[in-house]
Amino acid sequence: MAAVIAYGKAWLKVPTSYRIEVERDLGAHIYSKDAFPYLCGRITADGATYESVEFLGSTVDAMGVEPRAVMSNMVIEAGGKCGLCAADEKTCEFLCALREI
C-alpha cells in the first residue's frame, strides 16, 4: 500500500484466460469433483498457473450451483488464480434463497 501511495501506481498482473468446454454427460455417480482431476490431468498440474479458468458447456449448464462452486474452487489445484462459471437462472435462484435466510 505504501508503494501505491508513494508512486501513485499499482502493479497488477491481469491473468490470462483458460477456457474449458465440457460437453459430455458425466454419467451416474460421477460428480464435478470427480471430473476435475481428469481435466487437471489434461492441462497438467501447473498448466493454468496464474490464469483464470472459465468453465462452459452443456455439462456445466446442467450442474447446480454447488458443483460449479466445487469446480471453480479446484482451479487452485491446477495453479489458477480463479475459476468462473457463467451465472444463469439457477444462480439467481440460489442467491435469492440465501437472501431470504
How high is the pLDDT of residue 88? 93
Closest CA to 19 of 58, 70, 57: 57
Only one residue has cell 489458477, namely 80
How high is the pLDDT of residue 101? 64
How high is the pLDDT of residue 49? 87
How high is the pLDDT of residue 90? 93
How high is the pLDDT of residue 69? 92
The residues of the chain scoring below 50 in pLDDT are none
How high is the pLDDT of residue 1? 67
What fold is seen in the domain 13-100?
A: Aconitase; Domain 2 (3.40.1060)
How high is the pLDDT of residue 15? 82
What order of strands is seen across the sheet that includes strand 82-85? 16-21, 51-56, 82-85
Q: Which alpha helices (H) appear in 1-101, and where do they start and end?
A: 2-7, 32-43, 58-62, 65-73, 89-100
Question: Where in the chain are the domains?
Answer: 13-100
